[in-house]
Amino acid sequence: MTTDTRSPSALPLAGIRVVEFTHMVMGPTCGMTLGDLGADVIKVEPLAGDSTRKLLGSGAGFYPLFNRNKKSIAVDLKSAKGREIVLKLIATADIVSENFKTETMQKLGLDYASLSKLDPRLIYVSHKGFLPGPYDHRTALDEVVQMMGGLAYMTGRPGDPLRAGSSVNDIMGGIFGAVGAMAALMQRQQTGKGQEVQSALFENNIFLVAQHMMQFAVTGKAAAPMPERISPWGIYDVFSVKDKEQIFLAVVGDGQWKTFCEAFGYADLFADPRVTTNNDRVLARSWLIPELRTRLTLFSRAELSQRFEHVGLPFAPITDPQHLFDDPHLQATGGLAPMELPDGRQTQVPLLPLTLGGERLGLRLDPPKLGEHTDALLQSLGYSADEVAALHAQGVVL
């Protein structure tokens, strides 16, 4: 369970209110990050709810993961009374975050140009497919920008582009949106003015592949896809070992080569002049790696893990994501927090990968049920109990 023992008021963004109009991954990640850091995040949903709640397959985990530490209010934004409620809510906010089409927000009067006239101090975070330019009219998805931005090329084998196994651009794009929002908050302290922050999937993807772009700039040679790349290290591979188990093993320097050879009694390899230095071993991979694959099949994954850990060499058993719930390090260090899913089931959820003051940023609010906080928020905006009841009866809120 989480080790965060701080009160909400002790968190860095305590007192900051965020109103978000988001769905799927990118926008919700921004709000989740700000919420984990202590902001009061209010998720404005349509009466039917965020469509992400109903996703199947690989999207089934989106809603509970990226909507923790938030409150939900369900409002009909197509109605005048619904828009009135939302504008009152935004009037209490420091930050508005959205990831819908620009035209959609403009039509509702919820774009930055409209809202900044009402409150010049407002910070507006817009999550898009592309930053303004020739592509900004296109509809983007994580997979779209991975394909056009070189990441799928780098992940797959030659001729077989492959998307990364996570929503990397959506998640990172949302985090960069949060970084921009926090930077804008700091600048507002100096200027008294808010501003629009924009984060985009395509530009995020370019940042991810920038190392390969710069590799070409430095060497003049195009980067090979990761499965076919020339490794800078002699041993940096996945090995199939006893009982058909798999493990990643790395020996990345001459000191580690000596340690490796001593740990496994490979005096013959250590004395071989063809593999004296790391660069020698890189050039010798065509015969060295098959030789090591043959030798290491004598060991189980557990035996190799134990020996590599004992001598301080890098290793990693190949792990399926569902097994990480039982990871002893995550369990011992507070990396997982208990959570109740919207349907009432209990689970655990990974937290932000950082500590502040030696503590993880924990879970204060489970992912909300649709409209769970509607009545409380309306009352906080000055609506009487009778008015709240009337809004429900009129179908303006849920």
Residue 88 contacts by C-beta under 8 Å, 6 or more apart in sequence? 381, 382
Q: At 57, which helix (H) or strand (E)?
A: none
| CA 19, 24, 30, 33 torsion-angle sign | positive
Using N-to-C axis directions, what is the helix angle for 168-191 and 201-219, rounded to 10°?
Answer: 100
Q: Is 323 exposed, middle or buried (0-12, 13-18, 19+ CB in 10 A)?
A: exposed
> Under DSSP, is residue 322 helix (H, G, I), strand (E, B) or coil?
helix
Catalytic residue among 94, 170, 343, 386: 170
Q: Is 170 a catalytic residue?
A: yes
Cite the DSSP H helix spans in the chain. Answer: 26-36, 62-66, 80-90, 102-107, 112-118, 142-148, 151-155, 168-191, 201-219, 254-264, 267-271, 278-283, 285-296, 301-311, 328-333, 374-380, 385-393
User: Which residues in 3-41 are b (16+ Cβ under 10 Å) and which e?
Assistant: ebeeeeeebebeebbbbbbbbbbbbbbbbbbbbbbbbbb
Instruction: Give first-to-last CA distance, the chain, whole Å.
Output: 33
SS3 content of the chain, % helix, strand, coil (to 5): 45, 15, 35
Contact 42, 17 (CB under 8 A): yes
Contact 26, 173 (CB under 8 A): yes
Contact 222, 150 (CB under 8 A): no
Two tokens, residue 379: 């009352």
Cα 131 versus chain centre, distance: 20
Two tokens, residue 320: 């399926």
Which among 258, 259, 240 has a CA at the least distance from the CA of 317?
240
Place of tokens 């593999």: 275
CB atoms within 10 A of CB 324: 15
The residues carrying an active-site annotation are 170
